[in-house]
């Protein structure tokens, strides 16, 4: 392990998904349903949209993760998410936003561990003064619009963290898998789950999820309060869409003022968010963490296959 760094690891797997341009100047096109799909400029669209923003109506928007094969999120995707969040914050009409995935088996695998670390640490702070990751999570949780996450497939690491920062989470009973796997890989979660989970599920269950670092299926996640409900997979889309359209039909003032008071009673203060990111950056550079990540990469981390499908099992197999 001597001399091993995450930057070198990135070189070893240079074939992993390349960074895309992050400009998101809206060019809207209508689909047959009447929704408006907000697309990247033509030069970017040719490479495929990693994150698709659809305006189903002025009040109801959908953000779809479309970065196969695993919906990995790295610095480029974070910047794109921030631009989408800017659009949501700036629009006075949006009342509800649904986050979902078009990639079979994955809502969002986790943060990109193979990009050079300076790509993440060099990002300028967001409007809250925090790094863009905790900044995004904080702003997402405090949107005036109601946010709903539809979980089908795996949501690990930052995928779980995005779901926790949203207002509501609904999961496929058969196909959803949630986890905060990071401790099992030797580092600290960076997107704020230590701030959100204890308030959501209680201290003991938060410790089990975060330090046990194992996988939770939809049914168990529902029992713990990790998600609002686990529904039969065939019913998930219709339920989420129906709830979103119901909320979109309500008076906006009533939605905003009610959510504001719920947030006051339940959300962590902003100052709890940045320390988690700082701990992630510090911990992921440790030789012990690099050794664990290297072992996982050699077995197939960030590639389609058993490791990504069964992170809980593979992190438990590591031996010093």
Domain ranges for the chain: 6-317
Q: CB of 74 within 8 A of CB of 123?
A: no
**Considering only 38-42, 54-58, 115-119, 140-144, which range has the smallest mean pLDDT?**
38-42
Q: What is the pLDDT of residue 222?
A: 98
pLDDT category, 317, cuts 50, 70, 90? confident
Higher pLDDT, 316 or 179: 179
Q: What is the pLDDT of residue 33?
A: 53
Q: What is the pLDDT of residue 2?
A: 42
Q: What is the pLDDT of residue 5?
A: 52
pLDDT at residue 12 greater than cutoff 90: no
pLDDT in tens, 248-289: 999 999 999 999 999 999 999 999 999 999 999 999 999 999
pLDDT at residue 155 greater than cutoff 60: yes
Alpha-carbon distance of 146 to 99, in angstroms, equals: 11
pLDDT category, 320, cuts 50, 70, 90? low
pLDDT at residue 304 greater than cutoff 70: yes
Q: State the number of CA atoms in the 13 A half-sphere of 123 facing the CB.
A: 27
* Burial of 135 from C-beta contacts in 10 A (0-12 / 13-18 / 19+): buried
pLDDT at residue 18 greater than cutoff 90: no
pLDDT in tens, 87-112: 999 999 999 999 999 999 999 999 99
Q: What separation, in Å, do the N-terminal and C-terminal C-alpha atoms of the chain show?
A: 12
List the structure tokens of 256. Answer: 């905003």
**Mean pLDDT across the stretch 4-15?**
47
Question: 31, 34, 60, 65: which is closest to 48 by C-alpha?
Answer: 65
pLDDT at residue 36 greater than cutoff 90: no
pLDDT at residue 162 greater than cutoff 90: yes
**Strand pairing report for 146-151 and 106-108:** unpaired
pLDDT at residue 15 greater than cutoff 60: no
pLDDT at residue 37 greater than cutoff 70: no
Higher pLDDT, 283 or 17: 283
Average model confidence (pLDDT) for the chain? 89
pLDDT at residue 83 greater than cutoff 80: yes
List the structure tokens of 103. Answer: 């990639």
Confidence (pTM):
0.86
Q: What is the pLDDT of residue 185?
A: 96
Contacts of 196 (CB under 8 A, 6+ apart): 141, 161, 164, 165, 268
**Mean pLDDT across the stretch 118-130?**
97
- Domain 6-317: give its CATH code: 3.90.226.10
Higher pLDDT, 109 or 17: 109
Q: CB of 67 within 8 A of CB of 44?
A: no
Alpha-carbon distance of 99 to 151, in angstroms, equals: 8
pLDDT category, 49, cuts 50, 70, 90? confident
pLDDT in tens, 182-229: 999 999 999 999 999 999 999 999 999 999 999 999 999 999 999 999
């Amino acid at each position: 392990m001597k001399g091993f760094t995450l930057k070198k690891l990135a070189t070893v797997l240079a074939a992993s998904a390349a960074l895309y341009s992050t400009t998101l100047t809206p060019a809207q096109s209508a689909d047959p349903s009447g929704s408006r799909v907000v697309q990247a400029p033509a030069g970017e669209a040719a490479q495929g949209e990693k994150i698709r923003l659809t305006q189903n109506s002025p009040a109801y928007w959908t953000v779809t993760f479309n970065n196969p094969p695993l919906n990995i999120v790295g610095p480029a995707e974070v910047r794109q998410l921030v631009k989408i969040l800017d659009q949501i914050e700036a629009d006075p009409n949006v009342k509800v936003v649904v986050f979902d995935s078009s990639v079979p088996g994955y809502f969002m695998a986790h943060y990109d561990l193979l990009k050079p670390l300076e790509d993440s640490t060099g990002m300028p702070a967001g409007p809250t003064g925090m790094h863009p990751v905790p900044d995004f999570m904080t702003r997402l949780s405090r949107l005036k619009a109601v946010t709903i996450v539809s979980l089908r497939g795996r949501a690990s690491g930052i995928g779980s963290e995005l779901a926790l920062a949203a207002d509501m989470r609904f999961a496929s009973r058969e196909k959803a898998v949630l986890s905060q796997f990071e401790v099992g890989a030797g580092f600290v979660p960076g997107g704020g789950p230590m701030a959100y989970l204890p308030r959501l599920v209680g201290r003991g269950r938060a410790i089990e999820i975060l330090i046990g670092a194992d996988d939770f299926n939809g049914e168990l996640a529902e029992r713990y309060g990790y998600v609002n409900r686990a529904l039969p997979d065939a019913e998930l889309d219709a339920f989420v869409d129906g709830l979103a359209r119901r909320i979109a039909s309500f008076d906006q003032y009533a939605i905003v003022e009610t959510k504001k008071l719920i947030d006051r009673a339940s959300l962590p203060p902003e100052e709890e968010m940045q320390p988690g990111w700082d701990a992630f950056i510090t911990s992921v550079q440790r030789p012990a963490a690099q050794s664990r990540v290297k072992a996982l990469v050699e077995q197939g981390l960030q590639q389609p296959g058993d490791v990504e499908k069964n992170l809980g099992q593979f992190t438990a197999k590591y031996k010093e």
